A and B are shown apart, each in its own frame.
Chain A
Amino acid sequence: MTEAIVTITDLDSQNPNIIAKAVKIKGQLDESNVDEKAKDIYKVLESVPTGKHVNLLFDFAELDYMNSKSIGYLTDWYSRITTDGGKICIAGPKENIVDILQVVGLTQLVTCYQNFDEAKAYVLS
């Protein structure tokens, strides 16, 4: 199996109704691992209490490859999070990752920040 490490950390939100988390994905997401790794994100979405919403920052600074299915999952997370009033963004993606996100039109939906702190400010606002 191709290596991909998903690390999820809490971001301090001043708003009690917002749960903000950073999802760092390191390595490569492909057909051999993406279904398994996606479960970690769905667990986060399912754990949000009623009346609150979640803002997710995807830290892609050390993500080297993502296939079309992983883009599909990202699109699904975008739909679920924004439908519930939450926010989603990407921080630090490499050029090849931006390229593939652009070709499927996802950069029109999900904002990409080159700087982690800018992305963090967005999900905490």
Chain B
Amino acid sequence: MDLAKTKNQTNAIGEVKISITLTTNAYFLSGLRDFTMTFVKNMTGFGEQWAYRFQTVVDELASNAMEYGCREGDQIVITLMAHTDKSIEIMIEDPGHGSKKVTAEEMEKIYRNKLDLYGRGQYLGIRGRGLAQIVNAWSDKVTFENIDSGGIRVRVIKSFKENNSQSKI
């Protein structure tokens, strides 16, 4: 299939790494969410509540990559890595073809500024909650890296804790 390619690797210590190359079109986000749900439920020790949360994390990061890091016809790469009962790692790469070029360092600054904004109280704007409110809340670490293609890789890591396997709501 040209529009979405999947690569699946499992190494000797049981880590699973799956990469998906997706053409820039919001139409594919629904399928990406379904895939993430299945991956988290079957390949990690995280429970259903966290499967929904990671579904949102992937959706928000992929939407941002398509909107700010791509032009029409570009592709983004989504990589999910499961270290069973240890952590999940999510990486999203864009080609850096957005209308305004942003480096990883600038992205880090934007992210920190938004964290400060939300820390000051209730935010009532329409845009801007995805990364700094949702992804930040549901991860342990968010980092930005410049990649050779000229784009950015956003990497999110969430470590497994015993209570992450149970739904609390």
Q: Which A residues are within 8 Å of any B CB, using their own CB?
A: 1-2, 28, 30-32, 65, 67-69, 71-73, 75-76, 78-79, 95-96, 98-100, 103-105, 108-109
Contacts and interface: CB of A to CB of B under 8 A. Distances in A.
Given A67-B56, A75-B126, 15 more contacts: A30-B33, A30-B63, A67-B63, A72-B125, A72-B128, A76-B126, A99-B49, A99-B53, A99-B169, A100-B56, A103-B137, A103-B138, A104-B129, A105-B122, A105-B123
A68 B122 contact: no
B57 to A, nearest CB: 11
Contacts, number: 79
B120 interface: no
Nearest to B30: A2
Give me the 6 closest cross-chain CB pairs, A-B, nearest first: A72-B126, A32-B26, A68-B130, A96-B52, A31-B26, A68-B129
Contacts of B157: none
Contacts of A79: 124
B60 interface: yes
Given A73-B126, A95-B169, A99-B169, A68 B134 contact: yes
